[in-house]
Each structure stands twice: as structure tokens, then as C-alpha cells.
Amino acid sequence: MHEESELVTGEAVVLDLRVAKLASRALAMALDVLLQFALLLAAIMVLSFVMPGADESLVLTVLLVFVVLIMVGYPVVFETLSRGRSLGKMAVGLRVVRVDGGPIRFRHALVRGLAGFVVDFWALGLFGAVAVIVSLCSSNGRRVGDFLAGTLVVRDRAPSTAGYAAVAMPPGLEGWAAQLDLTRLPDDLALASRQFLARFRELRPEASHALGWGLAQQMGNALGTPVPPEVPPWAFLAAVLAERRNRDHARAFQAYAAQNRPGYPPGAPYPRPTASPWPPAGPHPAGVQPTAQPEPPTPPSGTPVPVENPFTPPS
């Protein structure tokens, strides 16, 4: 069970996320608990062989340490290494993200793990009753650990595409984009850039300017290439994302052809899709190139400075 949720980032960008509700989260939790109990059973069997004649208090102490390590360490380690997914969440298709839509880090996973053990489920949670009650009272299905860590659980397998315009290659940037090494582009940065391109017209000009420039700088650093001269950030982001999509389509086409058409030459080039004009609201006139992009202005303290939206292309 899930629903669309709108979250607003600190840069005033609205993110559409498919928030996981109680049913899917409960299934993921049940799978994780089964695995945790299997690990506990294995730990007990190991202790019975390793410490057959040990003092009872020592055995209980060691067992308690194993319980804490498994019940707290298991979700913390998996959610940290897999960027928000335990094995149960992987099976169901869920992921833990920050409330601004970004990936979680170790501190988020640790807070969620400790709160889950102490408050939500085991020590004081009445075997999950607290987590269920708090989740039902939350519009986004968040439990106590999510509120303390600033996180929520979303659907990971089928992201919402409603409201997102197709990103097309800006005219004149095809050859430049074809030379890029896109293997180092993080998925979360690509998602944030796509969301920005879908909504930047709705932002205040100064917020659109600053956020677009910041995303372009992050993407340039990740790819090891600066923003080309006289190319506005929206065009830079659109060119990178369009090239990434075209390459994904090419790989998918070649894989399909290799499996279903024995006569298709291996490694034959995929016919690149024809890019529609960007932005979708109106085409560029023939021969018009992207205009120069100035550095983002710094508003004086206390009063916003009105800035003309530099991302509006010529019509």
C-alpha cells in the first residue's frame, strides 16, 4: 500500500515520492525479523558448542550482546551499505531516504536502528505496537525512528513519473555529451537534476538560479568536467541526462537484439533517438544557441534581490 507524497526540500523543490505505508513495511519487517531470529538461533547453537560448561551468567551476558548486535547491527549495517535497504526492503522494493529525498548515511541508520530496538519494536515497543500506532497516525507512515532520524520509507522499484517532462537533448550539445564518461554519475544526483528540470519554471527566479547552478556544479565535479562556457545550467543538466538515457536505450536495444535476433551484428550501433526540443514548452528557433550563464548572485542579508530567471530559454 502506498500513496503519492509531496516533500519540499530546503531549496524549495517539490519531490514526488511513493511513500510506503503500513502493509508493505510490515511485510519487509517480517522478512527481516525472520532472518534476525535465524541469526539468533545460529548464535545460540554456536554458544552451546563453544561454551558448554560456562557459567550461566556469562552465557546470558554473551547472548545479550549477540541479541543487541543482531537486532540493532543488522539493520544499521545493511541500510548503511545499501543506502537505505535491508534484505526485507530489497525483497519488497522499499528504501529508506531522508525527508528531503536524499540517501541516508550511517547516522540516520544508527538512529533508526537504536530507536527501533528501544522504542518502536522490542524493549519498550510492545513487539511493534508503538511502531504501528505511530505509523498509522503519520501521513507518511513514519515510525518513531523515522521522526528522530529525519527519514521515511518509499517505494524503490516503481518511482512515480507523473508530472515529469521528458528530458531532451538541447540543440548543439549532442557531440559534447557523447564524449562524457557517465559511469561516475550518482543516481541520487541524476534524480535531483531531473526533478529540478521538471519544476524549475515554478520556482522563484533567485531560487531557480541558485539551485540550478549548484546542481550543475555538483554534476560537473562528479563527471570531472566543468560546465561549458556560455551554456546555462538547465541545458548542461538536460544534456547529461538525455545522453545517459540514450545510452541506456542503446544498451537495452543491443541486449534485446542479441537475444532475439541471431543475425543482428554484435556491437552494431543503436540508432540514437531524435531529441525533441527542450524545454517542452516551446522549441528553440533554428540557429539559436544557449546564452551565457552568469555566476549566481548573492542577495544582501535580510532582503531578497529580484533576479531575472536565467533558465528561461529564448522563445
Structure confidence at residue 22 (pLDDT) = 87
**129, 155, 181 - which closes a domain:** 155
- Same domain for 263 and 185: yes
Burial class (CB in 10 A: 0-12, 13-18, 19+), 101: buried
- Asked if 103 and 97 count as a contact pair (C-beta separation under 8 A), the reply is yes
* Cα–Cα distance measured from residue 180 to residue 119, given in angstroms and rounded to the nearest whole number: 48
Nearest to 223 by CA among 179, 192, 184: 184
- Same domain for 268 and 127: no
- Same domain for 116 and 23: yes
Structure confidence at residue 121 (pLDDT) = 92
Could you give the C-alpha distances from 31 to 89, 93, 188, 194, 312, in angstroms and in order?
8, 12, 27, 33, 49
**98, 122, 155 - which closes a domain:** 155
Structure confidence at residue 20 (pLDDT) = 87
- Same domain for 237 and 273: yes
- Same domain for 190 and 65: no
- Same domain for 100 and 43: yes
- Asked if 229 and 221 count as a contact pair (C-beta separation under 8 A), the reply is no
Rounded to the nearest angstrom, the gap between the alpha carbon of residue 49 and the centroid of all alpha carbons in its chain is 44
Q: Which domain holds residue 26?
A: 2-155
Rounded mean pLDDT for each run of 10 residues along the chain, 315 residues in total: 46 58 90 94 88 81 90 94 92 87 88 94 87 90 93 72 64 89 85 83 78 90 88 89 87 71 57 45 41 48 43 39
Helix (H) or strand (E) holding 17: strand 14-20
- Asked if 150 and 108 count as a contact pair (C-beta separation under 8 A), the reply is yes
Which is it for the CA torsion 171, 175, 180, 182, positive or negative? positive
* Cα–Cα distance measured from residue 40 to residue 162, given in angstroms and rounded to the nearest whole number: 44
Total tally of structural domains belonging to the chain: 2
- Same domain for 215 and 144: no
- Same domain for 216 and 137: no
- Same domain for 65 and 38: yes
Whole-prediction pTM value?
Answer: 0.52
Nearest to 191 by CA among 167, 227, 221: 167
Structure confidence at residue 280 (pLDDT) = 41
Q: At what angle do helices 129-137 and 22-50 cross, to 10 degrees?
A: 160
- Same domain for 245 and 200: yes
**155, 180, 207 - which closes a domain:** 155
Could you give the C-alpha distances from 301 to 58, 298, 304, 305, in angstroms and in order?
62, 9, 8, 10
Structure confidence at residue 263 (pLDDT) = 59
- Same domain for 143 and 36: yes
Nearest-5° Cα angle at 228, 208 to 184: 85
Edge-first strand order for the sheet with 94-98 is 2-8, 14-20, 151-155, 94-98
Structure confidence at residue 260 (pLDDT) = 65
Structure confidence at residue 259 (pLDDT) = 62
- Same domain for 6 and 150: yes
